[in-house]
Amino acid sequence: GAIRYRFAGPVPPAYACHCGECKKQSASAFSMSIPMDYSTLSVTGETSLYESTAYSGITKYNYFCGKCGTRLWHSSDNPPEGITLKVGTLDNSAGIEPLGHLWVSKKQKGIDVDPASDQQSTQPADLLHWRANLGSKK
């Protein structure tokens, strides 16, 4: 509760990432995110920032709660413009399912992926375009 946020509009389509970094960050088999513009968020409380290097080589800015350590969102811009908000930080994530999956080549055994979802073996060359069009095929 040290940091709260609200965003305008409906919840954007979610996706799951199965890369090694997301597995470590979430301490789970994958991480679920929703891409959005940072400008749609209204944030109370002060976030902490941790810089890391993504597998692609770009610097990733990871915003988290300094009290409990929960990652809230990350961005490739600082200050953030386009972010990927972590689904697990929503007050109610019931009913949110990933419409796409990244890095399915690294997927944990035993995790089933909806065959109708948009599955990428690694990461699309144009990740921003992929995120922007997520769910448009359904």
> Which DSSP state fits 14?
E
Q: Which tokens sit at 23? A: 């597995």
Distance, C-alpha 23 to centroid of its chain: 12
* Pairing between β-strand 41-44 and β-strand 14-17 as defined by DSSP bridges: unpaired
CA distance 9 to 65: 24
Pairing of strands 41-44, 4-7: antiparallel
Q: How many domains does the chain have?
A: 1
Convert the pLDDT of each residue in 14-70 to its tens digit.
999 998 888 888 889 999 999 999 999 999 999 999 998 877 788 989 999 999 999
Containing domain of residue 15, as a range? 4-132
Q: What is the pLDDT of residue 54?
A: 78
- What is the C-alpha separation between 48 and 82, in angstroms, rounded? 18
- Would you say residue 137 lies in a domain? no
SS3 80: coil
In a domain, 138, yes or no: no
Q: What CATH number corresponds to the domain at position 56?
A: 3.90.1590.10
The pLDDT confidence band at residue 77, using thresholds 50, 70 and 90, is: confident
Quick one: pLDDT at residue 137? Answer: 65
Residue 13 lies in a domain: yes
